[in-house]
Amino acid sequence: MRAGETNRHLTGWLLASPLTLVLIFFLVLPIAMIVIVSFWQATEFSIIPAFSWENYDFLFGSPVTYRVFGNTIKYALIVWVFTLAIGFTVAYFLAFHVRTQTWQIALFLLCTIPFWTSNIIRMISWIPFLGRNGLANSALISAGIVDEPVEWLLYSDFSVILAFVHLYTLFMVVPIFNTMMRIDKSLIEAAYDGGASGFQTLTNVIIPLCKPGIMIGTIFVVTLVMGDFVTVRFMSGSQSANVGRLIQNDIALLQYPSASATAVVLLITVLMVIGILLRFVDIRKEL
C-alpha cells in the first residue's frame, strides 16, 4: 500500500519532469540570466558582472523611455482595435454565413495562404506599393483623386500599423473562429425564437461566448506587437521607435546590460497587461 503510493508519486514526478526540464532550461534559465545581466555594467567593449541599479536608473530617468513605451502601447492598442474588428468579422462570416463545412475549411485555408511566405517578405512588399512612386500613389494620381503623391502612405505610423494589422489579423481570426464553431447553434435559434434581433443575438449570445477566443487572440496580438522591432524599423524608415528597437540599438552597441534592463521592464509591462486581460475572462474555465 505504502509502496504503491510512493510509486504513484514517483510516476507523477517522472511524468511531469520532461516538460519541467524543458521549461527550466529554455524558459526559466534564460529569463533569470536576462534579469541577472540587467544589473551588470558595461563599458564600450566589455561587460562587468556587478550589482548596480545604474541601468534602471538611466532607464527610468530618461524621458525617451516614457515616450518610447507610450509609442509601443499606442501601436499595440490601435493594432488591437483593427485586428479585433477585422478578425471578428472574418471569423463570424466563416462560422455563421458559410453553410457547409467543406467551404468553411477551404475558405479558412485560403486565409492562411499568405502566411506560407516569410513575414519579413510580406512586410517589405508593402514598401514599393506605398512609396512615393509606388502603385498606390500612381493609382490615386491617375484616378484624379490627388495631384501630388501622398507622402504619409510610407515611412509613417500609418504604414507601421497597416503592416502590423496585415501580419497579425490571422492570430485573431483563428482563436475566435475556433470558439464560434463550438457555439451550440440551438442557442442562436433560441435567441431568435425569444424575439431577439440579429444585433441583440450578436451582443448577448455570440460575443459573450466568444470571449475566450477574443482574449487569446488579444494576447497574441498584444505580445507580438509589443515585442516587435523589425516591422517598426522597416515600415517607419527607422523614424519611429518602440521598445524593441531600443533593445536592438543597445545590443548593436554591445550594451547588453542596458538591453537586458529594458527587456525586463518590457516583460513586466507585458505581463501586467496580460494579467489585467485575464481578470476579465477566465480562459481555463471557459475553454
Partner 1 sequence: MTTKKLSRRGLLKGAAAAGAATAFPAPMIWAQNIKDVTLRQFGTGVSNLNEVAQKVKEDLGFTLEMTALDSDAVTQRAATQPGSFDIADIEYWICKKVWPTGNLQAMDVSKIKNYDKIVGIFKDGKLTPESTIAQGTAPHTVGFTDGPDGTTFADEQTNWMTLIPTIYNADTLGIRPDLIGRPIETWAELLNPEFKGKASILDISSIGIMDAAMVCEAMGEIQYGDKGNMTREEIDKTMAIFTEAKRNGQFRAFWKTFDESVNLMASGEVVIQSMWSPAITAVKSRGIDCVYQPLKEGYRSWGGGIGLSKNLSGLELDAAYEYINWYLDGWVGGFLMRQGYYSAVPETSKNFMSENEWGYWFEGKEATDTITNPFGDAMAQAGEVRDGGSFEERMGSVACWNAVMDENQYMVRKWNEFIAA
Where does this chain bind partner 1 (CB under 8 A)? 44-46, 62, 64, 67-68, 71, 127-128, 131-134, 151, 154-155, 233, 236-241, 245-246, 249, 252-254
Please compute, for residue 274, the number of CA atoms within 13 A of its CA located in the half-sphere on the CB side: 16
Shortest distance in whole angstroms from residue 67 CB to partner 1? 6
Q: Which of 128, 215, 111 is nearest to 166 (CA)?
A: 111
Shortest distance in whole angstroms from residue 49 CB to partner 1? 14
- Given the complex with partner 1, which of 202 and 230 has the nearer CB atom? 230
How far apart CA 153 and CA 267 sit, in angstroms, is 32
Which three three-digit cell numbers place residue 71?
509609442
How far apart CA 250 and CA 268 sit, in angstroms, is 19
How far apart CA 142 and CA 147 sit, in angstroms, is 9
Shortest distance in whole angstroms from residue 144 CB to partner 1? 22
Residue 41 pairs in a beta bridge with 48
Residue 41 backbone dihedrals phi, psi, to 5 degrees: -120, 160
Shortest distance in whole angstroms from residue 14 CB to partner 1? 39
Using alpha carbons only, give the angle 164, 165, 171 rounded to the nearest 5 degrees: 100
Shortest distance in whole angstroms from residue 160 CB to partner 1? 12
- Given the complex with partner 1, which of 43 and 102 has the nearer CB atom? 43
Shortest distance in whole angstroms from residue 134 CB to partner 1? 8
- Given the complex with partner 1, which of 45 and 116 has the nearer CB atom? 45
- Given the complex with partner 1, which of 54 and 286 has the nearer CB atom? 54
- Given the complex with partner 1, which of 163 and 210 has the nearer CB atom? 163
- Given the complex with partner 1, which of 173 and 261 has the nearer CB atom? 261
How far apart CA 169 and CA 90 sit, in angstroms, is 10
Query: Which letter, b or e, does each residue of 124-134 get, where b requires 16 or more Cβ atoms within 10 Å of its Cβ?
Result: eebbeebbeeb
